[in-house]
Structure 1
Amino acid sequence: MVFLRGLVGYWACMNGLALGYVINSPASELQHVFFSPSRFSDSLGSLLGISKRPSDPIVPPGLEDWIQEQRRISFGYLLDNIAPNGANAKDAAPGSVIASPSKHAPNYYYQWVRDAAITMGDVVEAYANSGDEKYKHIIDAYADIQGALQNTFNPSGGYTTGGLGEPKFQVDGAPFTENWARPQRDGPALRALTLISYLRALNESDPSAVDNQWLSRLYDAKLPTNSIIKADLEYISHTWNMTGFDLWEEITDLHFFTAIVQRKALVEGRDLAHALNDPEAAHWYDSQQLALKDFLARSFWNKKEGRLNAYLESPFRSGADCALLLGALHGGQEDLFPPWADEILASLEALASDFSTRYPVNQMTPPFYREEERLRGVGIGRYPEDRYDGVGLSEGHPWFLCTSSASNVLYNTIERYVEQGYFEINDINLRFFNHIRDGKAIKGKYTMGDYAFGDYLVDMFKYADSFLNVIRWHATSDGHLSEQFNRYSGFQRGAKQLTWSHGSYLGAAIDRDAAMDALQESGVVA
């Protein structure tokens, strides 16, 4: 995996004061875990669809063209849901990200802190890749509205009394005052990660734009703070051990997804505080990320089931959950549950095996791509016990964003295995490798250059592609992706044009290019 080396060597001088801004740490890649400027220009190509086009027969005819075209389409639809210029967000405040243009059955015409942060990460990536000022204007507007939302009194509280845990707002920035699942503690972490990522991207493209006054609205070395990122870091560092609602807005507990994105935000916040001469804050954030790391490492492994649990104490849930995959993608780091972690692969296998039989649509053979049964992806839902049908409660269905997250985990894993030159099959990940090898996987270390090394990775790539082929099957002819598709018929249902559905697909397609580049450059495929 290619790692972000960070912002190195930015020196700005304003009013006779030299500001040294040096960050050398892993970065949030939001949808894609880790990225670097070189990856933007090489494997990432462009969010607009420029990429290497593999000619190897591991990619079936027609699938490559669809993946790249849908990538272009999904990015356009994602921008349609961002104010002020988005076609679906004309009456929203500038910088607002609507979850969906759907206003009835269901009404998703709101801005969620979590969804907006994840979505804006894709815009940050587009800006870093292209330097296009139109993306910078969108991100600046996002920062402005987020600062305003932080200071908007809401049912969760005020700026320093819990209000940062408020999950959603009206599209004009007004508070949402009806009953809801409050608080949700992942939003501040994801927002901090997005804006820290923006600082890095801006430094690469236009360091002269970052002066003391501009920077202070994002981070200051004061307590109480009046800056967006530090306010979020203070909230996270003082509340991470408190229960809240999960990303699905259904159960109160301590959650894997929330904890892992909080931990990543504190790691990056620590490094930012060091760089901006805020040593006491850096020390505090470091102490809390270490505590969070210990909590995550010892709390969520289900030894009996051989996979992770997504929450601590929810007696009516098995603990298998797409949130585990999303947590690894958005919050995983080198030292704790990255997408290629054995525990994540085991959890992916558990989900795929369950949903392959739970949803009748998954027992049909998809058109276009008649892969071997052992390498056939399936529609992935949120969790096995799900009853939300997109409007009310009956029975759950596959979600587009969960299905593409399965692909994304695998593409990240392939890239990592090639980078380190080996992988190991062990007791934890054996269930995953047995899944793609019909129970014939053999434990041991596989090294680049061995035939088996490449053979396993090619199978993983085919398996990852097959999840995207499921999306191809259920997408409309013009590339629309709703929230869900029906467990029986495969027709779309729930909120239309869900922003996160397009963003999650976009992330998988981008990381697919990185995985293919790794396979080609290593000689695994021609």
Structure 2
Amino acid sequence: MLRSISATGLTKRRPGFGQTVVPAPGSVLAAPTVGEGPEEPDYFFHWIRDSAVVMEAVAGRVEEGDAGADWTGHLRDMVRFSLATTRLSGAALLRARDVRRGVQPEFLRYLRPEAELAAVEGERVLGEVRYNPDGSLDVIHWSRPQHDGPALRALAAMRVHALGALDDDDGRQGLEELILADLDYTERHCGEPCYDLWEEERGRHYYTGLVQHAALRRGAAWAGEREDRARAERYAAAARALAAGLDAFWSDGLRIYRCTLRPPGAERDKVLDSAVVLGVIHAGLPDGRHSPLDDRVQATLLALERRFAADYAVNRGRPAGLGVAMGRFPGDRYFTGGPWYIAGFAAAELHYRLAELLGRGAVLAVTPDNLDLGRDIAPAAGTPGARLPRAATERHALVRALIARGDAVMAMMRRYIPASGELSEQFDPDTGAQTSARDLSWSYAAFLTARDARRRALRGA
């Protein structure tokens, strides 16, 4: 992951677009590879979403007291870079240069229209999804807008703020400015249709709505602490509206949270999606619906496990003690359509977070929807209507059983990680060979946040 943060020693050339890009301090590459080809997607960009996930993982290193790098310095640079991107101007870019100059004729069709670029001003810059890591606007067609990134970054930045990691005047001022920009954007655009986190489908998405809700809910408390009552009230009202809308994603027929809401008759096969699990862990709600304690979240995870256990050859006939390698969604066709490390680590992290909550005194209600989980962690007590633990003496065993479930998924991931520790985006569902982008920053960040969640669960045990 460190290779992707402030990778100022790398140079990416895109001859077709006439671009030579050198990352600036504080940028976060989705993947640091500079090659191109049918087997190597071009991820040499700073995505708001990916960089927010990395910021969250870096904040975890600060909280854990990790001395392996200057994590606080990295956070400072990341905030400065992110804040600078919020001030970009499409009109200024067009005045400064002809974006078509140097572009090979066959690549011109991939450029964004000048009218679209000219409209990238003010808060619309935050809907840009990704930027060149040198801090300039991306002039290439992409799936825009996406509204989850600013919410995710606000969540990560508020955690950094709570840690006091940037406690000097300049650092704190820049951090607070970034938080306000992201929260204001999220409040104004929450609930609007946009592209999903996989950048494939425009609509209203569970993941986006949930992280927006979490950011605004936490942002309302944060603004209240700053005695900014107007913002606190606006954020709280928007968070309540989003919470009400999230319940509509539940399917009474399928007994899962659907990833996307579609008009009647427009349902597709892609309704079961690991984006739901990712949304729950990124939102980090402590209780209630859409938290790890939600039986409907657990039902969705169980449905994903069953489907991928059947779909992927790497899962069939796996030895005892290994969990299920998880993909994005059934029928995925991106590269090999295989398991994704971020999906597997997210499934493990959900178990660890649930274990942590039970260790702190929470109760798990067993329903027909999460019955398989209840029976797995408490065979003698896992019946519909049970509330676990039934007695204080059972709590430790429940926590250990959930940690063991998460560990089984981590063990399955470890089976397909080379000795070098390199993490790609996904691996082949038949052979287990790594595929798609190499050294995906999000994969490393997902491992770190899962490990941090396990440590917290163990402390509670």
TM-score tier, shorter chain, comes to 0.7 to 0.9
Q: Indicate how the Cα distance of structure 1 residues 510 and 381 shifts in structure 2: closer, same or farther if over 3 A, else same.
A: same
Q: CA deviation at 1:236?
A: 1.0
CA contact (8 A) 2:86 2:122 kept: no
Q: Are positions 1:463 and 2:405 aligned together? A: yes
SS of match in other structure, 1:363: coil
Q: Indicate how the Cα distance of structure 1 residues 274 and 449 shifts in structure 2: closer, same or farther if over 3 A, else same.
A: closer
Name the structure 1 match of 2:208: 258
Q: Are positions 1:360 and 2:313 aligned together? A: yes
Instruction: Give the letter aligned to residue 352 of structure 1.
Output: E
State the alpha-carbon separation in 1 of the partners of residues 71 and 270 from structure 2: 41
Q: Are positions 1:101 and 2:101 aligned together? A: no
SS of match in other structure, 1:361: coil
- TM-score, length basis structure 1: 0.74
Q: Are positions 1:193 and 2:193 aligned together? A: no
SS of match in other structure, 2:276: helix
| Aligned counterpart for 1:315 among listed residues 267, 281, 291 | 267
Q: Could you report, residue by residue, the CA deviation over 1:341-394 in whole angstroms, capped at 9, with x for unpaired residues? A: 21111110000000001111111425xxx32xxxx41110001121111xxxxx
Q: Percent identity?
A: 28
Q: Are positions 1:330 and 2:330 aligned together? A: no
Q: Indicate how the Cα distance of structure 1 residues 153 and 410 shifts in structure 2: closer, same or farther if over 3 A, else same.
A: same
Q: CA deviation at 1:215?
A: 3.9
Q: CA deviation at 1:128?
A: 3.1
Instruction: Give the letter aligned to residue 29 of structure 2.
Output: I
SS of match in other structure, 1:181: coil
Structure 1 unaligned regions, length at least 5: 1-77, 220-226, 390-394, 520-526
Name the structure 1 match of 2:15: none
Q: CA deviation at 1:87?
A: 7.8
Structure 2 unaligned regions, length at least 5: 13-20, 91-115
CA contact (8 A) 1:448 1:454 kept: no
Q: CA deviation at 1:291?
A: 1.0
Could you tell which deviates more after superposition, 452-461 or 479-488? 452-461
Instruction: Give the letter aligned to residue 187 of structure 1.
Output: G
Q: Indicate how the Cα distance of structure 1 residues 436 and 86 shifts in structure 2: closer, same or farther if over 3 A, else same.
A: farther
Q: Could you report, residue by residue, the CA deviation over 1:473-516 in whole angstroms, capped at 9, with x for unpaired residues? A: 00011111100010100111110011111111111122112223
Q: Are positions 1:148 and 2:79 aligned together? A: no
CA contact (8 A) 1:328 1:339 kept: yes
Name the structure 2 match of 1:175: 137
Name the structure 2 match of 1:347: 300
Q: Indicate how the Cα distance of structure 1 residues 305 and 140 shifts in structure 2: closer, same or farther if over 3 A, else same.
A: same
- TM-score, length basis structure 2: 0.84
Could you tell which deviates more after superposition, 158-167 or 285-294? 158-167
Instruction: Give the letter aligned to residue 144 of structure 2.
Output: R
State the alpha-carbon separation in 2 of the partners of residues 115 and 86 from structure 1: 20
State the alpha-carbon separation in 2 of the partners of residues 80 and 86 from structure 1: 10
SS of match in other structure, 2:260: coil
Q: Indicate how the Cα distance of structure 1 residues 177 and 430 shifts in structure 2: closer, same or farther if over 3 A, else same.
A: same
Could you tell which deviates more after superposition, 189-198 or 351-360? 189-198
SS of match in other structure, 1:497: coil
Name the structure 2 match of 1:217: 174
Q: CA deviation at 1:450?
A: 6.7
Instruction: Give the letter aligned to residue 473 of structure 1.
Output: R
SS of match in other structure, 2:137: coil
Name the structure 2 match of 1:412: 353
Name the structure 2 match of 1:92: 23
- Quick one: higher RCO (CA 8 Å, sep 6+), 1 or 2? 1
CA contact (8 A) 1:88 1:101 kept: no
| Aligned counterpart for 1:237 among listed residues 170, 187, 191 | 187
CA contact (8 A) 2:60 2:449 kept: no
Could you tell which deviates more after superposition, 426-435 or 356-365? 426-435
Q: CA deviation at 1:308?
A: 0.7
State the alpha-carbon separation in 2 of the partners of residues 325 and 397 from structure 1: 17
Q: CA deviation at 1:464?
A: 1.4
How many residues end up aligned between the 2 structures? 417
Q: Indicate how the Cα distance of structure 1 residues 84 and 106 shifts in structure 2: closer, same or farther if over 3 A, else same.
A: closer
